[in-house]
Structure 1
Amino acid sequence: MQNIENLIFDLGGVILTLDMPRAEQHFTALGVKDYNTLFRSGNVSSFFKDYEVGGISDAEFLEALRNLAALPLTDEELVAAWNAMLGHFPEERIALLSKLKNKYRSFLFSNTNALHLITFRKMYTDAFNGNVFDDHFEKAYYSHLLRMRKPDKESYEHIIRENNLDPSKTVFIDDSILNIEGAEAAGLKGIHIKPGTSILDIDL
């Protein structure tokens, strides 16, 4: 890719696979009814976003999740169901990240949360001989630690400013068109990973 010096990757759906049906199965098995209405509608409870920007604690999130499910579920049951959406790290995607790091300044920007971060970091370490996932990047940005989330323009501008990036020479890669539009509003070049494709299909 010509005149590109920097890459910013999304995580879920781009590097890490997601398994939303498995999450639904876990919650349904616990007795949750109307999973799609509660968890996947456009009107999903605001506490999900609050958790993504570090606005509430793990305990507060789990209590809100328990209230949403309207069931006397234990923290352990809720955490297991919540983490069920996390798939795996395909080896060929990880190999590509290692290759691209030698060619570009590479960063990560993920809308995530504390419980997921602990889990997918451990998943990666277990799957890749004790290695550390974040080592693939010059810096990894996680929304709950950054206290900003995509697609807010300010979140991209913070990363650009902190790393002295030239937006016109920086590509942001995400599977959400809304996040791509937010990145482009901040001057970044966007690549949308559409369903049925992956980062292996990008000419980088």
Structure 2
Amino acid sequence: MQGIRHIIFDLGGVILNIDISLTARAFESLGLDNFGKHYSQAHVSTLFNDLETGRVSEQEFVDKMKSVLPEGTTDQQVIDAWNALLLDYPVARLQLLQQLRNHYDLFLLSNTNAIHMKAFNKILERERGIPSLAAFFDKTYYSHLMGCRKPEPEAWQMVLDENGLKPEHTLFIDDTLPNVEAARALGIQSVHLQSPGTVLDIFKPKK
């Protein structure tokens, strides 16, 4: 952490527990075969990419998903299946953010969408009584509001430029390797968080 003044966090798999297989199974139970072929952390089809960059609306996404699902599938069933991957916020990770904020500028940079954003903030409010992740960061950046997504360089450049951050004084933490590699190419010190490790391990005092 020597020289680090700013930390940019990914959300899913770093702060928020997620399990993409739950959404895959939920859509498959609705009648969509091979959901994983269309969506994964490493690869997203055009529809999911457009949702995560704000090029299609929530309703357009739901309607397009319904068009490949059996007749009679409701909007809410699509939304519930899409949100199934969102799990919980371990309290120790939220406490870590609170502690780090005393010493560093903290930012959130997440590939997400309007449907998930509503849901993960509801989870936070239900579990911890906090209405928004904004409470833990100096600023939050969500791909569907930015119009770009990781690993596009523009995503990090927006965070750096808007906040006057120097890459060499900035740490980025993500659980997806292409995102980490893209950040490193910009000169940002980056950590690839790999299971079963958690973000807590990064900040454990060295023995």
- State the partner residue of 2:102: 102
Instruction: Find the counterpart in structure 1 of residue 92 from structure 2.
Output: 92
User: How far is 1:67 from its partner?
Assistant: 2.5
Partner SS, residue 4 of structure 1: coil
Whether 1:118 aligns to 2:118 is: yes
User: Equivalent residue of 2:154, what SS?
Assistant: helix
Aligned pairs for 1:67-86 (under 5 A) are 67-69=67-69, 71-86=71-86
Sequence identity percentage: 38
Structure 2 counterpart SS, 1:172: strand
Structure 1, unaligned stretches of length 5 or more?
Answer: none
Q: TM-score scaled by structure 1?
A: 0.93
Q: Is the 8 A contact 2:22 2:84 kept in 1?
A: yes
- The 5-angstrom pairing of residues 147-158 of structure 1 reads 147-158=147-158
Matched letter for residue 61 of structure 2: F
Deviations 1:26-83 (A, max 9, x none): 2122122223334349764301101101011111111122224465421010000000
Aligned to 1:39: 39
For 2:171, what is the secondary structure of its paired residue? strand
Q: 1:195 to 1:24 in 2, by over 3 A?
A: same
Structure 2, unaligned runs of 5 or more: none
CA distance in 1 between counterparts of 2:163 and 2:199 reads 23
- Deviation readout 1:116-159 (Å, 9 max, x if unpaired): 00010111011112453211000000000011110011111111
Q: Are the equivalent residues in 2 in contact too, given 1:38–1:68 (CA < 8 A)?
A: no
The total of aligned residue pairs comes to: 204
| Greater alpha carbon shift after TM alignment, 5-14 vs 177-186 | 177-186
Superposed structure 1 runs of 4+ greater than 6 Å apart: none
Q: Which residue of 1 is the match for residue 23 of structure 2? A: 23
The answer (yes or no) to whether the contact 1:32–1:71 under 8 Å persists in 2 is no
The 3-state SS of whatever aligns with 1:80 is: helix
- In structure 2, relative to structure 1, the CA distance for the partners of 1:38 and 1:73 (3 Å cut) is farther
Equivalent-residue separation in structure 2 for 1:40 and 1:201 (angstroms): 25
- Measure the CA separation in 2 of the matches of 1:196 and 1:43: 22
TM-score (norm 2): 0.92
Residue in structure 1 matched with residue 59 of structure 2 by the alignment: 59
Distance 1:6 1:62, change over 3 A: same
Query: Secondary structure at 1:190's aligned position in 2?
Result: strand
What value does the CA root-mean-square deviation take over the aligned residues?
A: 1.7
Q: 1:167-186: per-residue Cα shift (whole Å, max 9, x none)? A: 10000100011001111122
The match for 2:128 is 128
